[in-house]
Amino acid sequence: MKRIRLFTLLSVLAVALSVGLLPGIAEANGGSGSPNQVTIQPQASLIFTDATIDVGLYVKCQGGSGLGEVIVNVKQSPPATPSPVAAGSGPQTVVCDGQTHSVGVTVSGFGFDAGTATATADLMMDSPTVVAHVQRSIKIVVVTG
């Protein structure tokens, strides 16, 4: 009986540890049963040549005119940036057909550097009303090109 309890305890502990070690994914939806969802990818690319950040999203939405808009805001504070605060935003039109689409959003701003930042994404359809909102910590990496 002691072996069964020990085995059960070890199994639960193994599952808890493995879930805790998975990289976080920030996902939000517009409420219970809503077809509107936004997921921010954990890593973004900083392109020094034009001072922009490319942020990856997965967007799923349905309804309205079949189109929506997602606006991504990125903010970075010291010590990740030498600037007092680096901030920028960028919009992107998205297809709202009930399917999940991979979306790239170019964020323009000033003072960004490689390191940790906070990203938010707001999904809107047919009005300035936000139907899905998400926030997460992202890792900005420098790419050449």
List the CATH number of the domain containing 103. 2.60.40.2550
**Residue 43 counted as domain residue:** yes
89-106 per-position pLDDT tens digit: 999 999 999 999 999 999
Helix (H, G, I), strand (E, B) or coil at 18: helix
Dihedral angle sign, alpha carbons of residues 136, 111, 87, 38 = negative
**Residue 113 counted as domain residue:** yes
**Residue 49 counted as domain residue:** yes
Helices (H) and strands (E) in the chain, counts: 1, 6
Mean pLDDT of the 106-124 span? 95
Supply the range of the domain harboring residue 71: 25-143
Mean pLDDT of the 19-31 span? 43
**Residue 4 counted as domain residue:** no
The band of 110, judged by pLDDT with boundaries at 50, 70 and 90, is: confident
**Residue 73 counted as domain residue:** yes
Measured distance CA(66)–CA(126) in Å, rounded: 9
Mean pLDDT of the 22-43 span? 68
How many domains is the chain built from? 1
Residue with tokens 């034009």: 50
**Residue 3 counted as domain residue:** no
